[in-house]
Structure formats: C-alpha cells, structure tokens
Amino acid sequence: MAELIYDKTGRLIFTKEMKEEYTILMPQMLPVHFGMFRQLLELEGYHVDMLTTNHRGIVDEGLKYVHNDTCYPALLVIGQLIDAIKHGGYDEHKVALFITQTGGGCRASNYIHLLRKALEKAGLGFVPVISVNLSGFEKNPGFKLTLPLVRKLIYAMVYGDLIVDVANQVRPYEVKPGSADRRTEVWEQRLVRYFTRGKGMNRGAMREIFARIIKDFESIPVEGEQKVRVGVVGEIYVKFSPLGNNNLEQFLLSEGAEPVVPGLTDFMIFKVYNRMVDVDIYGGKWLKKKVCGILKSYIEGCKQDMINALNNSRFRAPGTFEEMHKLVDGYLGDGNKMGEGWLLTGEMLELIHSGVPNIVCTQPFGCLPNHIVGKGMIRCLKDNYPQSNIVAIDYDPGATRINQENRVKLMLANAKNMAQA
C-alpha cells in the first residue's frame, strides 16, 4: 500500500505510487465532455471513474457533512463523492478524488477545502484530494497537467460542444429514438482514438473533423415541425449537470421542446479573458495579459471554425464570444466577473437575439453572484425585450422536483400562447 505523505500544511499528497494503485473518482458535469476527459486521463496512466450516480442519497450525504447554507452545487459534488466511497464498492484506502480549482472567489476554488473537512467528518481523512487547476495550486507528484494533456482537453471541449449542439438539434425530431445518442457515443470513442494517435489536434484537422461530425448527424432521419426552443442558462454546474438540474434537458424533451444549451467553450474563454481584465483593473504583469490573450485568441479561433462549419450545414450556429460581449454592453461591465458574471446575462441576450426568447435560468441555492446576474437581470431584460419569456428555477436540497417541473411547464405554456398570438 502506498505510504501516506503530508506537506508542511498537513495536506495529504497524491504520490507517484498512488497513481499506480489508486482509482480516482471524478464528478460528472457534462456527460459528453467529461466522458472524453476521463478517457484522456486514462491514456495518461491514471485510473479514473466518472460518477454518474443520481439519487436522493447523494443530497442526504452532502447534508450530513456540509453545512446547509453552503451552495447547492458544492453540497451535491461532495455528497456524490462521499456516497461513491461509502457505497460504490471501492476500497476506501485505494481511492482519490478529483476537484477543480480556478483561482476565483467562487465554488470552483473553495470546494476542495469543504471536501477535505467533509472527509475528516466522515472518517475518511486518509483519502487524497487532487486539485485540478492551471494556476499552480497544490502540486502533487502523482498528478500533472502537462501541456500535451491540456491541449487534448481543450480540443475535446470544443469537439464536445459541437457534438452536444448538433445532437440537441436532432434529438427532438429523430425518426428512430436514440439515434443521436448512439451517434454521440460513436464520436466520443472515435475522437479519443484520434487523440491517441496525435490526430485531430490542429486547426486544419479540426475543420475536417467538424465537417464529418456535422455530415454524420445530418444523415440521421428527422421529421416533424419546429418545436418550441428553450434556452438553458445559469450557474455552470446546475446548467449542465443532470444531477444538479434534475435531468432538465430530458424533461424539456419529454414536454415536446428543443433544448438549446450554450456550450462550455465560451465559459473557458470568459475565464481566460478575466485574467486579462484583472491586469487592466488591478494591475499586474503585461506578460500574463499577453499569454492569456494568445490563449484566448486560439480558443476563439477554434470556436470560429466550428461556427463556420455549422453555417455550411442545416444546423444553427452559436454566436462568437465577442458578439456576446458587445450585447451585454450597457447591462454589466467587465468587472462583474464573479462566478458566471456578465457571461450569464450575455448568454440570455444571445439566446433572445438568436430567436430563443424562452429561457430557463437555473439558480442554485447559495450562489449569490449567479442570482444577481441571473434572476436579478430578468426584469431589465423583459423591459427591453417584451417577447422574452424567462423563468428562474431554484435548485436546493428542499426544492421538490414536481414544483420545478410545474414552473417549466408554465413557461412552456406561455411560449405556446405567445407563438399563437
């Protein structure tokens, strides 16, 4: 068994020996993206399991070990990880946990400390927690985000956004149910094989693969009239995670709607852009701004390639980051960047301008910045865009699924009435 080694602060370190022996448990946020992320980590020699559990016991575990005024996403992620250790059939002395840290003032930086406290309370203090970050926090000998791995993860993110986008535009109309899901699984596996061979990770190859993905999904037989399109925005975890939003996308499909979910790429561009804004507002090294600017431009270029590919197909394409940034001008400034910041309002504006005025804004308990830039901006948006039909849905340990779904049904009823008017 690997020796437990602690640093000077008392933090349990994930060692090279642990990399060989331990299974790393990873929470799931975006099923398609994280499915590829997991496989890419496996190719680096890590033993990774992605948690897809979704039951009330996760909330109960979270409430046991996290204070009930903690934000709901933190409670869910911590509850899911502890539930997996206790009930997932793992050797608790041979598991480690992944958690992300972005360096901001929000959950993505502070979960890790809450998680370690929760593990101590549960008698699992010997379980190492690995910080996944690009800021140099909490280095571990057994885990490194190398440049080649980061590059693969960025490409997987953009490919994932395209696959989810086209699948969402096919799924409500497919003649044979499950066709889009099966095609999605095929491309997940195919892309990982490409990455293994060093393929698909330059702009030219990416453009070719974009065209092939789109052509493959265009070949799926579809039928029926255009359904009500419903945008989904909000705090990043409850916006994307089926566990966090009670399978919101599946519910919208069951109600005869077409979900429209802005991708992960804009969020990552937003986070990189914020580093540049920090230098402008608070001062800092010009080199940091320059490096961030290069990374931002590169990711934006990849997204532009995706937009161009979609514009040459029957599928609708999202807008660019800069177009969204211009839309939010006059509503929120660049300094409003805690959590989802101005991006959340920007996504609502982009949806409205692209013909999707029906929007579900997912609001988790305890996420103050999200409520300000989400629910707090709805009145202003409705004043400026009377056709907008936005509903804020609260997600917390005490919220009932039936109440959440009834509020979505009311929004859909309003959408149908507006369409007939």
Domain segments of the chain: what residues? Answer: 16-144, 228-263+318-420
Task: Show the low-confidence residues of the chain (pLDDT under 70).
Answer: 1, 102-109, 134-136, 421
Structure token digits, residue 85 = 């250790």
| Contact of 289 with 279, CB cutoff 8 Å | yes
Output helix, strand, coil percentages for the chain, rounded to the nearest 5.
Answer: 55, 10, 30
Cα torsion through 398, 399, 403, 407, rounded to 10: 160
| Contact of 369 with 376, CB cutoff 8 Å | no
| Residue 12 to residue 9: CA distance in whole angstroms | 9
Q: Please tell me whether residue 274 adopts helix, strand or coil conformation.
A: helix
| Contact of 369 with 341, CB cutoff 8 Å | yes
pTM of the shown model: 0.93
Q: How many CB atoms lie within 10 A of CB 23?
A: 15
Domain 228-263+318-420, CATH 3.40.50 — does that match?
yes
What is the distance of C-alpha 348 from the center of its chain?
17
Dihedral sign, Cα of residue 376, residue 382, residue 384, residue 385: positive
**What is the arrangement of strands in the sheet containing 228-234, beginning at the earlier edge strand?**
257-260, 228-234, 358-364, 389-395
> Would you state the pLDDT for residue 155?
92
> Would you state the pLDDT for residue 411?
94
Exposed, middle or buried by CB within 10 Å (0-12, 13-18, 19+), for 168? buried
Q: What residues does 50 pair with on adjacent strands?
A: 26
What phi and psi values does residue 366 have, to the nearest 5 degrees? Answer: 90, 0
| Contact of 341 with 310, CB cutoff 8 Å | no
Domain 16-144, CATH 1.10.10 — does that match?
no
| Contact of 22 with 94, CB cutoff 8 Å | yes
> Would you state the pLDDT for residue 67?
83
Cα torsion through 14, 17, 21, 23, rounded to 10: 20
Q: What is the DSSP letter of 12?
A: B
> Would you state the pLDDT for residue 159?
96
> Would you state the pLDDT for residue 105?
66
Tell me if domain 16-144 and domain 228-263+318-420 are identical in fold: yes
Closest CA to 73 of 223, 234, 288, 259: 234
What phi and psi values does residue 348 have, to the nearest 5 degrees? Answer: -65, -40
